[in-house]
Chain A
Amino acid sequence: SQTIHQWPATLVQPVGSPLSLECTVEGTSNPNLYWYRQAAGRGLQLLFYSVGIGQISSEVPQNLSASRPQDRQFILSSKKLLLSDSGFYLCAWTGGQGSPLHFGNGTRLTVT
């Protein structure tokens, strides 16, 4: 069966520090991968998605970047965090267009 792993679960980082969040999927090949951010009590904002290795689409220009170095690995990064980067980050995968999304358990990022 397919599983998605996302870590760390919580992270507290000072302003200006770098960020790396990792997401891996097991049990499937060539998934579509997604990073979403959720502010407290709000909906999901799509940040990046990828339909294949090295293919990254950015939905919102911001202080973050994403990479897909392997088929089932998706990394969210920042060189210098801002206070506004605080939030709940969710990784998700799907088998293709029209299929349901499967989410990881999320990373709670607090930038201080």
Chain B
Amino acid sequence: SQQGEEDPQALSIQEGENATMNCSYKTSINNLQWYRQNSGRGLVHLILIRSNEREKHSGRLRVTLDTSKKSSSLLITASRAADTASYFCATDALRGNTPLVFGKGTRLSVIA
């Protein structure tokens, strides 16, 4: 089954810096979604980008999608300590009614 793979596995930055996380996947998709997970909690949906979109913004988040390379990136600008969390990409298959498949995530630490 297709799977998003995030890179890097872990990222540590200073507050105010930008954080970039990447996701690669294997097969054709309807959309790609990014989620955030604080330690010991459920995942929270951040942003969804459809296969016919190339870039999407939401506040300090910027997501790009390159379907020719089967990859996506999540950029968090002007990071804050509160952005410390794990970030997951999830792919929604092109064929109908199949569940999202998640990658293993990137663990982001923002140091104040």
Task: Assess the B40–A106 pair: CB atoms within 8 A.
Answer: yes
Q: Which residues of B contact A59 (CB under 8 A)?
A: 99
Q: How far is the CB of B111 from chain A (nearest CB, A)?
A: 20
The residue of chain B having its C-beta at the shortest distance from the C-beta of A46 within the complex is B99
Number of A-B contacts (CB under 8 A): 53
Give chain A nearest CB distance to B4 CB in angstroms. Answer: 9
Q: In the complex where A101-B45, A106-B40 touch, is A43 in contact with B105 (Cβ < 8 A)?
A: yes
A-B contact pairs, 5 of them (CB 8 A): A46-B101, A88-B40, A100-B33, A102-B45, A104-B42
Interface size on B, residues (CB 8 A): 25
- Determine if B30 is an interface residue (Cβ-Cβ < 8 Å): yes
Decide yes or no: A106 and B41 within 8 Å by CB, A44-B102, A97-B92, A100-B48 being known contacts.
yes
Interface residues of chain A, those whose CB is within 8 Å of chain B, are: 6, 32, 34, 36, 41-44, 46, 49, 51, 59, 88, 90, 92, 97-98, 100-106, 108
By secondary structure, the B interface counts as strand
Q: How far is the CB of A45 from chain B (nearest CB, A)?
A: 8
| B80 contacts the other chain (CB 8 A) | no
Contact B103 A43 (CB under 8 A): yes
How near does chain B come to A23, taking the closest CB pair, in angstroms?
A: 11
Q: Tell whether, in the assembled complex, residue B99 and residue A34 are in contact, meaning their CB atoms are under 8 Å apart.
A: yes
Interface majority SS on A: helix, strand, loop or mixed?
Answer: strand
Residues on B close to A: CB < 8 A? 30-31, 33, 35, 40-45, 48, 88, 90, 92, 96-105, 107
Closest residue of chain B to A42 (Cβ to Cβ) is B104
Note all chain A residues with C-beta closer than 8 A to B33. 100-101
Hey, which chain B residues are within 8 Å of A51, CB to CB? Answer: 97
Shortest CB-to-CB span from A110 to chain B, Å, is 13
Measured CB to CB, the closest approach of chain B to A30, in angstroms, equals 13
Cα A6 to Cα B42 in complex, Å, equals 10
Q: Decide: B41 and A105 in contact? CB cutoff 8 A.
A: yes
How far apart are the CA atoms of A46 and B3 in the complex, in Å?
Answer: 12
Asked if A49 and B99 make an inter-chain contact with CB atoms under 8 angstroms apart, the answer reads: yes
Chain B nearest CB, measured from A61 CB (Å): 15
Contact B43 A103 (CB under 8 A): yes
